[in-house]
Amino acid sequence: MFILYYKTVSMGGKIYTITLILFFSFLNSNAQTKTVEQETEHATIALLKSKDVDKEDYTAAKPANLNEVALSTENNVTAKRDINISPNPSSHFIQISGLKNTEQYRIYNILGKQIAKGLVSNNATINIENLKKGLYLLKINNANSRKFLKE
């Protein structure tokens, strides 16, 4: 199945024609497509969504920057959660906040060697009394890594 998107946009007194051709060979006859457009001060932002009943959602978007076109699948786009460590620096424990679920964590020293691992949930503490003084990296599944200082 071919999907053709064609749009003429006026920007800064110039007229641009944007043509986007996507080949969705994985879509079947049950596929549904929808185009949503939003006028902005400088351009029209268009979003083309396609839904295969038995598969994933696919999205193609034309941002205001005419040099960029993004194609993504919703199942592959995962934003990592921001977490907080407090107190930082600390000498006895660190408390982790910002988690939705219990996750696996790993602590690495400045040389990249794994020092500790375990499970942590929101507002739980991790004992760091046995770590030497220094800078460490805390990695938690499905969350952004954070540095902390052991005093």
Percent of the chain with pLDDT over 90: 37
Whether 14 has a pLDDT exceeding 60, the answer reads yes
Fold classification of 84-150 is: Immunoglobulin-like (2.60.40)
pLDDT recorded at residue 72: 46
> Would the pTM of this model clear 0.75, i.e. be above it?
no
Q: Would you place residue 93 in the very low, low, confident or very high pLDDT band (cuts 50, 70, 90)? A: very high
Written as one letter, the residue type at 101 is N
Which of 45-49, 50-54, 63-67, 125-129 reaches the highest mean pLDDT? 125-129
Whether 83 has a pLDDT exceeding 70, the answer reads yes
Whether 3 has a pLDDT exceeding 60, the answer reads no
Domain boundaries, the chain: 2-76, 84-150
pLDDT recorded at residue 85: 92
pLDDT recorded at residue 65: 45
Angle CA 125–93–119, to nearest 5: 35
Q: Say how many C-beta atoms besides its own lie within 10 A of residue 137's C-beta.
A: 16
Q: Which two tokens stand for residue 2?
A: 């071919």
Whether 127 has a pLDDT exceeding 80, the answer reads yes
Could you write out the DSSP letters of every residue in 100-139?
Answer: SS-EEEEEE-TTS-EEEEEEE-TTEEEE-TTSPSEEEEEE
Q: Is 105 exposed, middle or buried (0-12, 13-18, 19+ CB in 10 A)?
A: buried
Whether 27 has a pLDDT exceeding 50, the answer reads no
Contact 116, 108 (CB under 8 A): no
